[in-house]
Amino acid sequence: MADTIKRTRGASTKDKEPKTLKEMWDGYQLLFDQIEEKKAELAKPENSLEYPAIKATISTLYLSAASYCISMLRAVGEDASLEEELVELSGRDDIVAKLRKRSSNYIDNAKKYGSSIKSEMPSTTLDDIKGQEDVKEVVRSFIFLAKHPKLFDVYKITGGLGMMMYGAPGTGKTMFAEAIAHEMQLPLFVISPADIFKSYVGASEQAVKQIFDDISAFSEGAILFVDECESIFSRRDKDAKDYKSAVTSELLQRMNGEGVDGSRRIMIAATNRPWDIDPAYLRYKRFSHLVHIAPPDGPAIEAIVRNRLKDIPTEEGVEGYTVDLFVGKTKGLEDKNYYSAADICGIIEEACRMAVEETMRRERQGLPEEIVPVSKGMMEAAFAKRKPSITQRDMDEYNHFAPAGMNS
């Protein structure tokens, strides 16, 4: 099964014959018999030596069931007239809502039986990400190419489809990965170094295989999000450990031509330290899009502040005053430091905690019960406690990285 996600360069993008809704439904129903059969095997003491393999099979079957749910929902989304057929097949008027809930439940069940990585169906949209319009445009073109695989043949694109996002911590890289998965209506699988590197000989290579086995259960595709990828894709000349080199080779092999054949099994990676990544991972054939996620600009800061303060009790004018503090209109910030989205939310939360403390003091003093609003003074005090986390030197390093990375 793992081999289904492994692609060769120049793989054909010729569309496969789509399954009918009835075929999807029948395949979906068949899985439950298989799951119950494997659970029965798991209950027999004489199968104790086979428990790990049986549990792995059950996990994969649950992921396949989630895949069928997603496929049927996508079919109904593309052709609303199919909902009536789905209702007739299932005998339930609420089947569409049920399938949405079941897809998440099946993913959760897969985790219980040992699914190797965190997976979810994100609700984050591109509209939820404030600012970053230039990055959003790149992301939209990335999604468009993924949704129209015939363009690989039209333009003779032989490399893989993948995205490497880099930038300072807290700038929204994870949110972009979630938004891509949401826009494509695909599950998002998230892995970190702890999911890959194990203590025992051969365990890391097996972990990589299991990850791709899990993803392959989704016939319609999936997004693999590799977080903190500088630890996983580290330069081999900096770490000569045999097991890490073996894992690197395994990942490189499986990344070749990713997403080329229209399977929509796509790898997205994020890093705060792109210069620590092995150049072999940064070649165009493996990541077609290398994207710098920069700190929020003025309009983005305003959107983040207003969104974060929405429905929070504040004194009059606090929102505008806070925006001015961040963009430097009242503070005259000239030190070329930058606030990340996480910095902005952290400072606002600090001001909110000050309001909570003031509310508590009023209660202790026996004053009338009152929710104290966030004031300009609280916001300014919060600014004084927390400094911008991104320096000009950081930005210079990120801005100079891209050309070298793409030419490696």
Alpha helices for 79-172 (secondary structure H) = 82-90, 95-112, 133-147, 150-154
Q: What is the pLDDT of residues 174-206, one digit of tens each?
A: 999 999 998 888 888 888 888 887 777 677 777
Confidence category of residue 284, pLDDT binned at 50, 70, 90: low
Whether 395 is covered by a domain: the verdict is no
Total residue length of the chain? 408
How far apart (Å, rounded) are the C-alpha atoms in residues 121 and 130?
21
Whether 402 is covered by a domain: the verdict is no
Higher-confidence position of 355 and 370: 355
Confidence category of residue 236, pLDDT binned at 50, 70, 90: low
Q: What is the dihedral of CA 176, 179, 185, 189, to 10 degrees?
A: 40
What is the pLDDT averaged over residues 155-183? Answer: 88
Check whether residue 235 and residue 271 sit in a common domain.
yes
Check whether residue 89 and residue 189 sit in a common domain.
yes
Query: What's the N-to-C CA distance of the chain in angstroms?
Result: 32
Alpha helices for 122-278 (secondary structure H) = 133-147, 150-154, 173-184, 193-196, 203-216, 229-232, 242-255
Confidence category of residue 358, pLDDT binned at 50, 70, 90: very high
Q: How many separate domains does the chain show?
A: 2
Q: What is the pLDDT of residues 139-157, one digit of tens each?
A: 999 999 888 888 888 988 7
Whether 322 is covered by a domain: the verdict is yes
Whether 403 is covered by a domain: the verdict is no
Q: At what angle do helices 298-309 and 341-364 cross, to 10 degrees?
A: 30
The residue segments making up the domain with residue 349 are 298-389
Task: Please state, rounded to an integer, the average pLDDT across all residues of the chain.
Answer: 82
Choose one of 265, 292, 319: the last residue of a domain: 292
Check whether residue 181 and residue 118 sit in a common domain.
yes
In order, the DSSP letters of 57-100 are HHHHHHHHHHHHHHHHHHHHHH-TTHHHHHHHHHT-TTHHHHHH
Whether 397 is covered by a domain: the verdict is no
CATH number at residue 370: 1.10.8.60
Q: Is the pLDDT of residue 374 over 80?
A: yes
Sort strands 118-120 and 188-191 into parallel, antiparallel or unpaired: antiparallel
* Residue 260 φ/ψ, nearest 5 degrees: -70, -35
Q: Give me 23's structure tokens.
A: 């075929």
Max CA distance (Å), the chain = 75
Confidence category of residue 107, pLDDT binned at 50, 70, 90: confident
Query: Are 55 and 113 spatial neighbours (Cβ–Cβ below 8 Å)?
Result: yes
For 11, the 3-state DSSP assignment is coil
Whether 394 is covered by a domain: the verdict is no
Q: Is the pLDDT of residue 391 over 80?
A: yes
Query: Are 153 and 147 spatial neighbours (Cβ–Cβ below 8 Å)?
Result: no
Check whether residue 288 and residue 348 sit in a common domain.
no
Q: How many CB atoms lie within 10 A of CB 408?
A: 13
For residue 351, give the amino acid letter: A
What is the number of H-type helices and E-type strands within the chain?
17, 6
What is the pLDDT averaged over residues 245-250? Answer: 71
Helix (H) or strand (E) holding 322: helix 318-327
Check whether residue 109 and residue 204 sit in a common domain.
yes
Confidence category of residue 136, pLDDT binned at 50, 70, 90: very high
Confidence category of residue 117, pLDDT binned at 50, 70, 90: low
Q: What is the pLDDT of residues 31-47, one digit of tens each?
A: 989 999 999 999 999 98
How far apart (Å, rounded) are the C-alpha atoms in residues 296 and 341?
7
Q: Is the pLDDT of residue 18 over 70?
A: no
CATH number at residue 273: 3.40.50.300
Task: Give the lowest-confidence range in 101-115, 215-229, 373-387, 394-408.
Answer: 394-408
Task: Give the lowest-confidence range in 11-20, 79-88, 176-185, 332-341.
Answer: 11-20
Q: Is the pLDDT of residue 159 over 80?
A: no
Check whether residue 203 and residue 277 sit in a common domain.
yes
Q: Give me 401's structure tokens.
A: 């990285």
Q: What is the pLDDT of residue 246?
A: 72
Check whether residue 130 and residue 37 sit in a common domain.
yes
Check whether residue 201 and residue 347 sit in a common domain.
no
63: burial class by Cβ within 10 Å (0-12, 13-18, 19+)? buried
How far apart (Å, rounded) are the C-alpha atoms in residues 138 and 134?
7
